[in-house]
Amino acid sequence: MPAGSIEKLEYAIRYGADAVYLGVVDFSLRAMRKGDLITFENLHQAVDLAHSLGAKAYVTINIFAFNNDIKQLEQCLDRFKDAKPDAFIVSDYGIFNMLRKSVPEIPVHISTQTNTLNYESVKFWRDLGASRVILARELPISDIAEIRRRVPDIELESFIHGAQCVSFSGRCLLSDYFSKGERKANHGNCSQPCRWSYKLVEETRPNEFLEINQDDRGSHILSPKDLCLVKYLPELIDAGIDSFKVEGRTKSLYYVSAVAKTYRQAINDVLRGNADLEKYFVELQKVGNRGYTTGFALGDNNGESYSYNISKGLAGADFLCEFKREAAPDGYASVKIKNKMLLNDEVEIITPDEQFTATAESIKNSDGEEVELGNTNDDVFIKFSQMPKNPDYALVRTVGVKIYAS
């Protein structure tokens, strides 16, 4: 699971992740700018936290590096080494070479950015000393199975969920061009112009903007739907995948937790032979998405894989509040409101171990006064009709799945 911050790292693991991937600004393809960021100062702490919770931590150094990046990395190698991650994820041949020479004791995983599509490429990386290859998202499951048959002695990882790039394995320069080099996509600062709304203009009629379709918001012709392969977990497992990966270091705490919980349960059920995968597909509609697609996995990627009407992920359930580990009156929970909650609202509470519906029977403000609602960003106390057995890390959302018009 993605770990965009220390807090998200912990929630991802507690909700079911076996491993997390994290990076620091300047060397990662997701340059986080807010929250409890992972930096050189707390990188060791982040890795130690993952290990203390029984999970692995992989550090991404997966930018496409220029000379200045290599020089900067040379000054930082000891700090990466001291953090003792379980592996580095890299895409640049020069960075790979540096790590194998300077930190040979730490395994290297090959990023999906290298767009590894065939068994000879996997053999190439294996022979250079890589322990795992994260395969390109453009591969059908049948090709993955053939790669596994031909190269049985290396770990294979594939993406199963999250936002997709319109460009081949993320190799895109649109953001660089639109921002005049200030928002470099492959240095972790993509402005996502593929998600913008576009209209046509004819050069002799510069002020006449033509709709590409009849949507008055324009058309998001470059915006792929999000990947969701939960219903194809059995086929992916049979194909020989060792590790499943979810995109989303810039996604919310709720997103990371809910997706981790869903895939953890789905994988467990598949391995036990009693999986209702349609149920888990419904669960994943409760988190932000642009509509779901199987991408290239089934070998039939087409125009239906693009989200022409929306660019921003819309969640089928609203994230209402998170439980805080602070003192509260008897029978109440101390919570941070994320979206407005009303007295008597029916809600769904999820924890790493539970999931159930309940009613907000009483709401008190920070002064202990009864109120009718909790507004966004309020700290309040709520008494629910049913409380989680372990309220630590509990999250609250609306019940059911909202359906958005296409």
Longest dimension (CA), the chain: 72
Least Cα distance to 242 among 89, 169, 133, 106 occurs for: 133
pLDDT band at 214; cut points 50, 70, 90: very low
Q: What is the CATH number of the domain that holds 241?
A: 3.20.20.70
* 3-class DSSP state of 346: strand
The dihedrals phi and psi of 275, each to the nearest 5 degrees, come to -90, 130
Q: Is residue 196 domain-resident?
A: no
Q: How many CB atoms lie within 10 A of CB 13?
A: 25
The structural domain count of the chain equals 2
The dihedrals phi and psi of 380, each to the nearest 5 degrees, come to -135, 175
Mean pLDDT of the 311-335 span = 90
β-strand partners of 19: 56
Q: Is residue 276 domain-resident?
A: yes
Last residue within a domain, chosen from 305, 337, 367: 305
Q: Are 134 and 110 in contact (CB under 8 A)?
A: yes
β-strand partners of 158: 244
What is the tens place of the pLDDT at every residue in 326-358?
999 999 999 999 999 999 999 999 999 999 999
Q: Based on the domain organization, do 226 and 355 belong to the same domain?
A: no
Say what the pLDDT of residue 121 is: 98
Q: Based on the domain organization, do 174 and 55 belong to the same domain?
A: yes
Structure tokens, 84: 């003792």
Q: Is residue 209 domain-resident?
A: no
Q: Is residue 205 domain-resident?
A: no
* 3-class DSSP state of 272: helix
Q: Which residues of 279-305 are buried (b: 16+ CB within 10 A; e: fewer)?
A: ebbebbbbbbbbbbbbbbbeeebeeeb
* 3-class DSSP state of 122: helix
Q: Based on the domain organization, do 274 and 351 belong to the same domain?
A: no
Q: Based on the domain organization, do 265 and 369 belong to the same domain?
A: no
* Domain region containing 116: 6-186+222-305
Q: Is residue 405 domain-resident?
A: no
Say what the pLDDT of residue 179 is: 79
* 3-class DSSP state of 134: strand
Contact partners, residue 34, CB within 8 Å, separation at least 6: none
Q: Based on the domain organization, do 228 and 363 belong to the same domain?
A: no
Q: Based on the domain organization, do 45 and 145 belong to the same domain?
A: yes
Q: How many CB atoms lie within 10 A of CB 64?
A: 16
Q: Based on the domain organization, do 99 and 27 belong to the same domain?
A: yes
Last residue within a domain, chosen from 255, 282, 305: 305
Q: Based on the domain organization, do 353 and 264 belong to the same domain?
A: no
pLDDT at 207 over 60: yes
Q: Is residue 404 domain-resident?
A: no
Q: Based on the domain organization, do 69 and 24 belong to the same domain?
A: yes
CA distance 196 to 79: 38
Q: At what angle do helices 277-284 and 253-272 cross, to 10 degrees?
A: 180
What is the tens place of the pLDDT at every residue in 158-191?
999 998 877 766 667 777 767 777 777 766 677 7
Q: Are 233 and 270 in contact (CB under 8 A)?
A: yes
Q: What is the CATH number of the domain that holds 343?
A: 2.40.30.10
CA distance 247 to 255: 11
Q: Are strands 373-374 and 370-371 parallel, antiparallel or unpaired?
A: unpaired
What is the tens place of the pLDDT at every residue in 215-240?
544 556 667 889 999 999 999 999 99
CA distance 269 to 274: 5
Structure tokens, 116: 């590894």
Q: Based on the domain organization, do 272 and 325 belong to the same domain?
A: no
CA dihedral 39, 45, 46, 50 (to 10 degrees): 170
Average pLDDT taken over every residue of the chain:
89
Q: Based on the domain organization, do 237 and 279 belong to the same domain?
A: yes
Provide the whole-model pTM.
Answer: 0.88
Last residue within a domain, chosen from 281, 305, 329: 305
Q: Is residue 194 domain-resident?
A: no
pLDDT band at 382; cut points 50, 70, 90: very high
The dihedrals phi and psi of 47, each to the nearest 5 degrees, come to -65, -45
Q: Based on the domain organization, do 118 and 254 belong to the same domain?
A: yes
pLDDT at 241 over 90: yes
What is the tens place of the pLDDT at every residue in 119-157?
999 999 999 999 999 999 999 999 999 999 999 999 999
Contact partners, residue 350, CB within 8 Å, separation at least 6: 257, 258, 261, 394, 395, 396, 397
Q: Is residue 173 domain-resident?
A: yes
CA distance 363 to 371: 6
Q: Are 391 and 358 in contact (CB under 8 A)?
A: no
Structure tokens, 179: 């921002």
